Amino acid sequence: MTRSRLILLTGCLATATLVAATVVPSATARVRTQDDKPFVNASSQVAAGEYLMTVASCHDCHTAGWVEKKGNVPKADQLSGNPIGYYGAWGTVYGKNLRQVADRHTEDEWVDIMKTADHGQGNLPMPWHDAAKFSDKDLRALYQYAKSLGPKPVRLPRNGKPGVKPTGQYIDLTVKDSTSK
């Protein structure tokens, strides 16, 4: 089995944790998971989840200020949701508090949510089509990382219906035609 060895820098820039990880490439390796997909192999499932949350850009929507602070957000505030809405044809959605989602659901339920676009209730801009492609092992690592941060109740605005502009801060993701006036 061929494996690519990588040294990965993960986590908050203020607490940069160095984790040795093995990425198992799908084309050259026999994958060791039930769902026969490649996965990240790190020193622990929590470390793999921390790495995946960062490189899959989960923090961009689910950690307030992540993009603006270039990832320099204290762990105590990570993955606790985002009060800035994402407005589009689907209405307005807010990056959920993944710490609370992990606290309310079992690991198996988390995997099911990620594979089924929240049982068909998931909206854009969450890339559900990509999230469903994670291996079960990686989805479980994401869960374990979110769970390891502990619950952090944060009140977020409710999602808005299509066609109704939000009253607070939001990012407009509607398609615009530059040729129309």
The tens-digit pLDDT sequence of the chain (181 residues) is 333 333 233 333 222 333 334 444 444 444 344 567 888 889 999 999 999 999 999 999 999 999 999 999 999 999 999 999 999 999 999 999 999 999 999 999 999 999 999 998 888 999 999 999 999 999 999 999 999 999 999 999 999 999 999 999 999 999 988 886 6
Using left for φ > 0, alpha for ψ between -120 and 50, and beta otherwise, residue 64 falls in: beta
Q: Domain locations in the chain? A: 4-172
Residue 69: predicted pLDDT? 97
Contact (CB, 8 A) for 168 and 83: yes
Question: Cα angle vertex 117, ends 127, 75, to 5°?
Answer: 60
What integer pLDDT is reported at residue 154 of this predicted model?
Answer: 93
Using a cut of 0.85, tell me whether the model's pTM lies above it: no
In this structure, are residues 85 and 168 in contact, taking their beta carbons and an 8 Å threshold? yes
**Dmax of the chain from CA atoms?**
59
